[in-house]
Amino acid sequence: MEELKYRIYAVLAVMCASGLVLVGQLVRWQIIQHNAFVEIATAEHRDELVIAPRRGEMRDQSGYLLATDVMQYNISASPKIISDPYSTADRLANLLNLSRDELLNKLTSKDLWVPIANNVSQPIGETIMKWDIVGLKADVRTKRMYPEGNVASHLLGFVNENGYGFYGLEGYYDGMLRGKPGLQKGERSPFGEVIPWGISNFIPPSSGTTLHVTIRRNVQYLIEAELQKAVQTYQAKRGSVIVLEPKTGAVLGIASYPNYDPNNYGTSDENLFVDPSVSDQYEPGSVFKIVTMAAGLDANVIVPETTIYDGGSIEVGGRVIYDWDRKAHGTVDMTTIMAQSLNVGIAQIAVALGKDRFYTYIKRFGFGRLTEIDLSGEGPGTLKTPKDATWHESDIGANSFGQGIAVTPMQMANSVAAVANDGLLMKPHLVKRIVDSDREVEVKPMIVRRAVSEKTAHTLTDLLVTALEQSDSAALVPGYRVAGKTGTAEIPIPGGYHPTLTVASFVGYLPADNPQVLVLVIIDRPTVSRWGNDTAAPTFARIAKQLVILLDIPPDSVQVTMK
């Protein structure tokens, strides 16, 4: 009996303890944590959807579409709530061009959710939505599309799967282009669909800003075609072309080859994403003589008629500098120095300027710092000055003809554009107009500083024109006075310079008396000929001959008549 009594007590104790636990839980659920559990229950029936905004478009000067968003759909299904999987499989197979058997296996599976097809075009996605089949879902998504494929890929950049812009304009203006997402809140049915007349809240998305860029589509096509032809013809590693409007700093075209297709960036070599025109630096070689000559003229160290003796070599800071042909040229004036691209002559100008004035002028032209062009990933180049511990007295001689100094193509083009623009250095820019729902802003040309006087700019322009004509340059354009300079820069390697490989270039502008356009051509490591006059100069001429037609630039004889 005693044992039975203890068992009864034990059972009663367990029941009492269980009852206390149950009461405690009820108190917790219904009183202490009542609001929290109500919120959880409510959330089960509440739907919150972030609505992606439409990314802003990009258009060229004429309004031609360069980048836009297109609608695509991801199709999926909940097999357990599809009433007629056989009919649905038939309809989807015909529309999506997929295997009926494969679709039927998915639609009759025991899975709660199955993917059907991704990245379906807008018309097909909207057709599926109109069927209104319970359990069949079409989720809309946007995809960035570049109508011209590879054209202007470095300029534009791309947008990744998460909607973020990288490189080019997409990267630089990502915050403006992306817009602001919207939000839709509402009550959800057991099938996961929003109840139309339930409690809801909707905040519409704000589309991103539309950018109208300074690029002209026909100019971009031209320079990309000619650049590709030049790189292939001269068997070079790569190349770049920049077309600027000297008076405003507007970029009319900018191209590098090889390039990539931003529509399919995932299958491209990621090394091609960086734009060499603004990110890569190189030793410019003899095109830099324009800057040294400008400094000498502006500081009144020389005039065009000044003569010097060129013995074929000169020692500067313990380093012997030679002319490219290793010959002595005797007494020469400034025009001859430029026409024959004499290193010895240009080094003497730099020495006469002195280190302080020489590097002051180099900085005035924008070297050693960002141009602040509105493109992602711009580099500042490399400029050593007497204030740097690594600077040596011999650097002034080497720097005078573009050796021992590293620049970006954009820096080089913009500096020479300052000479074409009466001595005024402009800020290069790619966006002409910014348009969104609230405003429309016109981007005005911006003067950075005066590099040299107007008189110096005009004097140097005439000198450059004469020098090209004296050298019978391959860059000459019939009917137009062209001001410019070739460059053949050796490529630095550990311990010195490569014995054969070069970066060939030409920079020039026309018409010289009223410059409308400036073109920089860079051919990196050509193997057919290492010289700028054989590769970059004729490429410039081919581009310039077509540009004057595309941009409606009359020849000199007509311009004189118009004046």
Q: What is the pLDDT of residues 395-406, one digit of tens each?
A: 999 999 999 999
User: Which has more confidence, 32 or 376?
Assistant: 376
The whole-number average pLDDT for the span 276-285 is: 96
**Among 63-77, 239-253, 385-399, whose mean pLDDT is lowest?**
63-77
Task: Using DSSP bridges, classify how beta strands 210-213 and 58-59 pair: parallel, antiparallel or unpaired.
Answer: parallel
Instruction: Look at residue 41 in the predicted model and tell me its pLDDT.
Output: 57
Model confidence band, residue 116 (pLDDT cutoffs 50, 70, 90): confident
353 pLDDT more than 70: yes
The whole-number average pLDDT for the span 42-58 is: 71
Of 526, 520, 528, 461, the closest CA to residue 498 belongs to 526
Of 188, 91, 178, the closest CA to residue 132 belongs to 91
Number of alpha carbons in the 13 Å side-chain half-sphere of residue 374:
23
Give counts: helices (H), strands (E), the chain: 19, 23
Which residues 6+ apart lie within 8 Å of 264 measured at CB? none
Assess contact for 318 and 393: CB atoms under 8 A.
yes
User: Which has more confidence, 159 or 128?
Assistant: 159
Which residue is associated with the tokens 């050298």? Answer: 471
Instruction: Look at residue 47 in the predicted model and tell me its pLDDT.
Output: 58
360, burial (CB in 10 Å: exposed 0-12, middle 13-18, buried 19+): middle
Instruction: Look at residue 192 in the predicted model and tell me its pLDDT.
Output: 52
Model confidence band, residue 514 (pLDDT cutoffs 50, 70, 90): very high
Instruction: Look at residue 120 in the predicted model and tell me its pLDDT.
Output: 76
B/e letters for 185-201, b = 16+ CB within 10 Å, e = fewer, are ebebeeeeeeeeeeeee
Task: Using DSSP bridges, classify how beta strands 165-166 and 431-435 pair: parallel, antiparallel or unpaired.
Answer: unpaired
Rg of the Cα trace of the chain? 34
Instruction: Look at residue 458 in the predicted model and tell me its pLDDT.
Output: 98
DSSP state of 282: B
Domain with CATH 3.40.710.10 in the chain: 217-562
| Tokens of residue 497, six digits | 């310079």
With a pLDDT cut of 90, the percent of the chain lying above it is: 68
DSSP state of 57: P
Q: Which alpha helices (DSSP H) does 179-237 contain, by range?
A: 217-233
Model confidence band, residue 141 (pLDDT cutoffs 50, 70, 90): confident
| Tokens of residue 384, six digits | 């050593």
What is the pLDDT of the chain when averaged over all its residues?
89
**Among 72-86, 105-119, 177-191, 401-415, whose mean pLDDT is lowest?**
177-191
Instruction: Look at residue 42 in the predicted model and tell me its pLDDT.
Output: 57
User: Which has more confidence, 254 or 267?
Assistant: 254
| Interval 405-420: pLDDT, tens | 999 999 999 999 999 9
Measured CA to CA, the distance from residue 417 to residue 422 in angstroms comes to: 9
557 pLDDT more than 90: no
The whole-number average pLDDT for the span 235-244 is: 98
Domain with CATH 3.90.1310.10 in the chain: 49-179+202-208
401: helix, strand or coil: coil
Beta bridge partners of 48: 185
**Among 46-50, 113-117, 240-244, 328-332, whose mean pLDDT is lowest?**
46-50
Instruction: Look at residue 40 in the predicted model and tell me its pLDDT.
Output: 59
The whole-number average pLDDT for the span 502-508 is: 97
Instruction: Look at residue 45 in the predicted model and tell me its pLDDT.
Output: 55
Assess contact for 539 and 523: CB atoms under 8 A.
yes
Instruction: Look at residue 188 in the predicted model and tell me its pLDDT.
Output: 59
Instruction: Look at residue 296 in the predicted model and tell me its pLDDT.
Output: 98
- CA distances to 129, 132, 340 from 80, in Å: 19, 16, 83
Of 390, 398, 389, 396, the closest CA to residue 361 belongs to 396
| Interval 317-345: pLDDT, tens | 999 999 999 999 999 999 999 999 999 99
| Interval 179-203: pLDDT, tens | 887 776 666 555 555 555 555 566 7
Cα of 563 vs its chain's centroid, Å? 39
Number of alpha carbons in the 13 Å side-chain half-sphere of residue 277:
32
Measured in degrees and rounded to the nearest 5, phi and psi for residue 511 equal: -65, 140
Measured CA to CA, the distance from residue 81 to residue 83 in angstroms comes to: 6
| Tokens of residue 131, six digits | 């069927």
217-562 CATH:
3.40.710.10
Domain 49-179+202-208 annotated CATH 3.90.1310.10: yes
